[in-house]
Amino acid sequence: MTEHVDDGVERTEGVGGVLDALEDAVTQARAMPMSSSVLVNRAEILELVDQVRAALPSQLHQADEVLADADAARAAAQAEAEAVLARARSRAAALVEQESVVTAAQSRAAEILAEAQETAEALRRDADDYCDRRLADFEIDLGKVLSQVQAGRAKLAGRLVPGEGV
């Protein structure tokens, strides 16, 4: 998606859009006769590179939001686990107060505590798994963007060396 800014320059949205525009600029560039080289508009390519640089902070901000969401999910899971443990302790204390069922109460309290600990551990594992999946997805996306930027820079660098590719 593109938008026009007051300075008359057309801007694309996001790193992917800028990379698509960069690819279009190279693909549609005029070919040099009897060569695989093309002529590109330096100002246009540099503007697209600047747009990628401008879009990256937005992508990094999205990563921070994913991490914040994961931290919030983990904190909620921890709070729920602590609440389950508190309820288990409270229930165990109430059972101990009843003299006729002290033995049964101790047994049940141990079961409740074990269940609460299992629940807490399961919630922690789920939160950690969620964080890991979201970070892995983001890592893949950033890896793709980095590869595309490096490939584009390598192509540009090859064209900028005198006597090569022309």
In whole angstroms, give the CA distance from residue 64 to residue 80. 24
In whole angstroms, give the CA distance from residue 156 to residue 146. 15
Q: Is the dihedral of CA 132, 133, 137, 140 positive or negative?
A: positive
What does pLDDT average to over the chain? 82
Q: Which of 138, 164, 119, 115 is nearest to 59 (CA)?
A: 138
For residue 98, is pLDDT > 80?
A: no
- 66 CB-near residues (< 8 Å, 6+ apart): 134, 135, 138
- Calculated CA dihedral for residues 12, 13, 19, 21, nearest 10 degrees: -20
For residue 69, is pLDDT > 60?
A: yes
Between 54 and 96, residue with greater pLDDT: 54
Place of tokens 């047994």: 107
Confidence at residue 142, expressed as pLDDT on a 0 to 100 scale:
92
Largest CA distance in the chain: 100
With 0-12 / 13-18 / 19 or more C-beta atoms within 10 angstroms meaning exposed / middle / buried, residue 66 is: middle
Q: If you average pLDDT over residues 88-105, what whole number do you get?
A: 75
pLDDT digits (tens, 9 = 90+) for 128-153: 999 999 999 999 999 999 999 999 99
- 49 CB-near residues (< 8 Å, 6+ apart): 22, 152
Confidence of residue 93 (pLDDT cuts 50, 70, 90): confident
